[in-house]
Amino acid sequence: MMRTHYTSEITSEDAGKEVVLAGWLHEVRDLGGILFLLLRDREGIAQITIVTKKSDPELVNKARKIPRESVIVVRGSVKAEPKAPNGYEILPTHIDVLSKAESPLPLDPTGKVGADLDTRLDVRFMDTRSPRTFSIFAVRHHVMLATREFLTEKGFIEITTPKIVAAATEGGTALFPLSYFDREAFLNQSPQLFKQMMMAGGFDRVFEIGPIFRAEEHDTTRHLNEATSIDIEQSFVTHHDVMGLLEELVAYVYEKVSERCERNLRTLNIELDIPKTPFVKITYDEAIEIARDVEPSLEWGEDLTTAAEKRIGEEIGEHYFIVDWPTSIKPYYSMPYGDKPEICKSFDLMHPKMELASGAQRIHEYGLLKKRIEEQGLNPDSFDFYLQAFRYGMPPHAGWGMGVERLLMTMLDLKNIRECILFPRDRRRVAP
């Protein structure tokens, strides 16, 4: 190992001990008689203090010539210093430069010189050196970790489904085609069909965290063409059951992030309010009535616009569900009510700012499912591999999918969803 500690692992109680730190030269402050180097690693910043008259002239000269953002290793002793970051400073005996950074830098990781988001994304490897950007992805890690913990504890099995498919998962045309040997295939819109097939396979409870692809020509602050989705499917339950699971998960993730990411949340200047369960539930009809304050011409059976969602979010003011949607605007696999087939057992989970998740109790009857596929203008033959699973004993089941980036964006009050994914893919960006 080239180091003995991360910066966060040292405390003033280590005073007098020798340590070795490794990271990037964040900043240099040369006051003449004293020289401060700030070494940054992923855990924070350490102050390297060189008293020039008392130090080896070769060490002083070397330290003054190191370009910012060069990779360095510092060996030295710890000294308690209340004014320094983390309450200590390092008095160095050796400084080695492992990789010298060119100048000028493409952007300033200290944040003192601002850069627009496109510039930051063009040099994402440099942008992630910023404590703020790193903190976003540290929180994202704990969102994923807490999700896996929660669902595993609930008896779910993690699965991995294909991302190259022969037919549309959701129907429609929002697909990225690709050449697959001698035939056409597509990037998958969601794991929906495969997780349902696993209900016929006896898995009972499954989840997947993986990429989804939507060839939609959106160019907004909350849409991506490649995103990450948390998907679950569960047998012998209704849509009410999986709504309860979803709200429990969201509250659990907030709680664990709050406990485990204190330093990152401070860096982001965020204080999390853990959502209270159960979440408010309103029907689609009630949502339409609220939305007509800003969309007077909105008709029953139409999807909600961004303006409509914003108005409803202002009215509710917290996480909430919209339930009982028109069957005609939900996917073919959503279960209609027996006495009111024009309404289906579907739901959307909403944050006041945007939709986070959607789900439903699924149709588990072969005949009805085939009929619904036909009613939506799709060819059942294209879904034969999927429909086959419904012919030999499919239990009642329900599930949902939730966008990781949208959950993170709303949790951290970020303005653009591209901040929530390392290398965004949208209409204009396919590199880096």
- 3-class secondary structure per residue, 98-139: EECCCCCCCCCCCCCCCCCHHHHHHCHHHHCCCHHHHHHHHH
Residue 142 designated active-site: no
Fold classification of 126-279+318-420 is: BirA Bifunctional Protein; domain 2 (3.30.930)
The domain limits of the chain are 7-99, 126-279+318-420
Q: What is the dihedral of CA 184, 187, 191, 197, to 10 degrees?
A: 10
**What is residue 218's predicted lDDT score, i.e. its pLDDT?**
87
Structure tokens at 240: 């009410």
Q: Which residues in the chain land under pLDDT 70? A: 168-173
Residue 263 designated active-site: no
Instruction: Indicate which residue of 247, 358, 405, 418 is catalytic.
Output: 358
- CATH architecture assignment, domain 7-99: Beta Barrel (2.40)
Segment 356-377, tens digit of pLDDT: 999 999 999 999 999 999 999 8
Residue 216 designated active-site: yes
Residue 222 designated active-site: yes
Instruction: Indicate which residue of 355, 364, 405, 418 is catalytic.
Output: 355
Query: What is the chain's length?
Result: 432
Do 200 and 177 form a contact (C-beta atoms < 8 A)? no
Do 207 and 234 form a contact (C-beta atoms < 8 A)? no
Residue 27 designated active-site: no
Instruction: Indicate which residue of 222, 239, 311, 397 is catalytic.
Output: 222
**What is residue 167's predicted lDDT score, i.e. its pLDDT?**
74
pTM of the entire predicted model: 0.95
Residue 355 designated active-site: yes
Give the Cα separation of 160 and 170 in Å (integer).
18
Burial-class residue 276 by CB neighbours within 10 Å (0-12, 13-18, 19+).
exposed
Percentages (nearest 5) of helix, strand, coil residues in the chain: 35, 30, 40
Do 34 and 50 form a contact (C-beta atoms < 8 A)? yes
Instruction: Indicate which residue of 223, 239, 319, 397 is catalytic.
Output: 223
Q: Cis check for the bond before 104: say yes or no (omega within 30 of 0).
A: yes
By DSSP bridging, strand 44-51 and strand 71-80 are unpaired
Residue 103 designated active-site: no
